[in-house]
Structure 1
Amino acid sequence: MSFEHGWLPELLAAILAAVLAITLHEAAHGYAALGLGDDTAKRMGRLSLNPIRHVDRVGTVLVPGILLVMQLLTVGRVEFMFGWAKPVPVNILALRNPRQGMMLVAAAGPAMNFGLAWLAGLLVHPVESWGMLLSPESLGIAYRFLGLCILANLVLGLFNLLPIPPLDGGRIVAGVLPRSLALPYMQLERWGILIVLVGVFLLPRLVEGFDPIGWALRNVIAEAFDLVLLLSGNGGGP
């Protein structure tokens, strides 16, 4: 789908896919925490499937918006999506088993994204069955939306598994490490977002050929996309 021919459906499909991935990722953290004994998110009104309650003006609106517009203007389609929402508040001391509980709460977000990616793959089958009821353009939009849902959830889930606090992967690693190592490791959290922004966005643009995280994510996401298609009965990728 080119920018000149149908960029608005492409834009809307990408936005909807990203919003669903981010919202349900954060909701999964909240529901996991509630199930493990912490009702902080519920008391603060953050245990919700309403995207507005999880919107971060920079991470949910500005960064994804810039990425979407730049890709539509340059390559005419969405090939990469990135964003974040306001973290769901979790009181680790309220969890029945604080260290193990926090690890499970952190893992719930990526697990939700991987489940949603698989669900999007499964939905390809009814779309194929009902395709005769849709116009070719509508059918193309439906397929593209499901593809973007798979992509958005894989990017969000895999990115969050990077072992950098405060990303989910960092919290999972902290739950596995011995306490003597976990405490100093979690002190990286205050610098975590800066590390991510510099490593993912700044250094690749300042140092030609240096993009280890981007390279890893692109290669892993490509393999993961093929795996989702395979596990949902759609075969592998090209």
Structure 2
Amino acid sequence: MDALIPTLAIWALPVLLAITLHEAAHGYVARHFGDPTAHLAGRITLNPLRHIDPVGTVLVPVGILALSALMGGGGILFGWAKPVPVNFGRLRRPKADMLWVAAAGPFTNLLMALGWALLFRIAASAEPGGYSLAMLKMADAGIQINAVLMVLNLLPIPPLDGGRIAVSLLPDRLAWRFARLEPYGFPILLVLLFTGILGAILWPLIAGFRYLLSLVFGL
């Protein structure tokens, strides 16, 4: 339990930014393509309080971190914010623009992962000390949570962003049939999670992404 508080202190900011900015990006891009729904709801904002879901943004990540601290690591840290409302019917080209709205979230996680990697490089070059070590750990946490959210959300399972990207790219008839899977998306994810299949899919992709970052930034 003594390790839990430092772990939460290191992970809190990266997790909050990763989850809330992911959602805000969806709303911003939706507004750009003609749907003001998220803007009118006050969801295009950097204020995390407008995006926090008590379960997905707080309880689930804290629970995973607590189990990880008690068990000495392991498990995939993830979470979610309140979904930003998007009325795809109000987009100028609903099916085509859906791709950009859906891709905005994972792309934002990519940008944040790059930013945290740069911070990690700066901290690694600084004089050794308590602040540089804390910065290294927080930057590593930022890379990890953004890598997880980016890869997870790109899985082609509705209603994940990857599922909506697939709907946008598929021919109309196939897209309509594929979109009908959306009510079953979350149960499918739970089955994949508890059977270990989700981890088997995600971990190699996350490791590969982190390896690319290490090559680019010399981590």
Shorter-chain TM-score above 0.5: yes
| Deviation at residue 128 of structure 1 after TM alignment | 3.8
The alignment yields a C-alpha RMSD, in angstroms, of: 1.7
1:95 aligns with 2:88: no
User: What residue is the counterpart of 1:234 in the other structure?
Assistant: 218
SS of the residue corresponding to residue 106 of structure 1 reads helix
User: What residue is the counterpart of 1:225 in the other structure?
Assistant: 210
**Equivalent residues in 2 for 1:21-60 (5 A)?**
21-60=18-57
1:110 aligns with 2:110: no
- Number of corresponding residues: 219
Asked whether the equivalents of residues 82 and 155 of structure 1 are also in contact (C-alpha less than 8 Å), the reply is yes
When residues 13 and 79 of structure 1 are mapped into structure 2, their CA distance, relative to the original with a 3 A threshold, is farther
**TM-score normalised per structure 1:** 0.87
Q: Distance in 2 between matches of 1:229 and 1:41?
A: 36
Q: Distance in 1 between matches of 2:21 and 2:186?
A: 21
Q: Distance in 2 between matches of 1:42 and 1:174?
A: 24
1:72 aligns with 2:69: yes
Identity of aligned residues (%): 44
When residues 146 and 71 of structure 1 are mapped into structure 2, their CA distance, relative to the original with a 3 A threshold, is same
**Structure 2 stretches lacking a partner, 5+ long:** none
Q: Distance in 1 between matches of 2:190 and 2:49?
A: 24
Between 1:47-56 and 1:142-151, the stretch displaced more is 47-56
1:192 aligns with 2:188: no
Amino acid at match of 1:67: I
SS of the residue corresponding to residue 154 of structure 1 reads helix
Q: Distance in 2 between matches of 1:125 and 1:139?
A: 11
When residues 78 and 139 of structure 1 are mapped into structure 2, their CA distance, relative to the original with a 3 A threshold, is farther
Q: Distance in 2 between matches of 1:222 and 1:183?
A: 34
| Deviation at residue 7 of structure 1 after TM alignment | 4.3
2:159 to 166, 172, 185: 166
| Deviation at residue 80 of structure 1 after TM alignment | 3.2
Q: Distance in 2 between matches of 1:199 and 1:223?
A: 21
2:169 to 171, 176, 181: 176
**TM-score normalised per structure 2:** 0.94
User: What residue is the counterpart of 2:5 in the other structure?
Assistant: 8
1:83 to 79, 86, 94: 79
Amino acid at match of 2:218: N
1:216 aligns with 2:201: yes
When residues 127 and 78 of structure 1 are mapped into structure 2, their CA distance, relative to the original with a 3 A threshold, is farther
Q: Distance in 1 between matches of 2:75 and 2:157?
A: 24
Amino acid at match of 2:114: W
**Structure 1 stretches lacking a partner, 5+ long:** 205-210
| Deviation at residue 127 of structure 1 after TM alignment | 2.4
| Deviation at residue 48 of structure 1 after TM alignment | 1.1
1:140 to 120, 133, 137: 133
Asked whether the equivalents of residues 14 and 78 of structure 1 are also in contact (C-alpha less than 8 Å), the reply is no
